[in-house]
Amino acid sequence: MNRRCPHCGKQNRIPPKHLADVGRCGACKQRLPPLDEPLEVDVLAFDDITRNSRVPVLVDFWAPWCGPCKMAAPEVAAAARNLAGTAVVLKVNSDDHPQLSARFGVRSIPNFAVLVNGQLAWQQAGLLRHAELEAAVKGAM
C-alpha cells in the first residue's frame, strides 16, 4: 500500500501488516501516523490486508448509488479516525467487486463486517453510527 506523508507529500510503501503502526517517512524522516481513514480496496488488496493485518479489520460494503451508504460514510470515517492504531477500516464497492460481497453473503448495503486474523468475527447490515462500529471492533478483539 502507498501512503502519502502528511509532512512532505512523498509516497511511502507500507506493508499491509503495518497499516496500523506508527512509522517514519522514507524521505523526510518525520512521523508517519497509523492509517486513520477508510481505505478503498480491490479484491487483491482486501485479501492481502485481511490476511496480514495484526489488528482487526472493519469492512464497509457499499455502493455509490446507495443513499444509506452515503449517510454511513461520515460514520465510517469517524470510526477510522477513532480506531487509528487499533484497527484498519476498508471500503469495498459492491458494484465493482461483487465477488467480495458474495463471499460474505452481502444481500443488502450498507453492510459491515469485522475480520480478525482473516476470519469473520462479526457482521451486520444497515446504517450504524460510529460508536456502534467501534464497539463491534472492540468486541471482536
Q: Which residues are catalytic?
A: 66, 69
Contact between 18 and 8 under an 8 Å Cβ cutoff? The reply is no
Q: What is the gyration radius of the CA atoms in the chain, in angstroms?
A: 15
Rounded to the nearest angstrom, the gap between the alpha carbon of residue 111 and the centroid of all alpha carbons in its chain is 13
Which amino acid is it at 56?
Answer: P
Phi and psi of 20, rounded to 5°? -95, 5
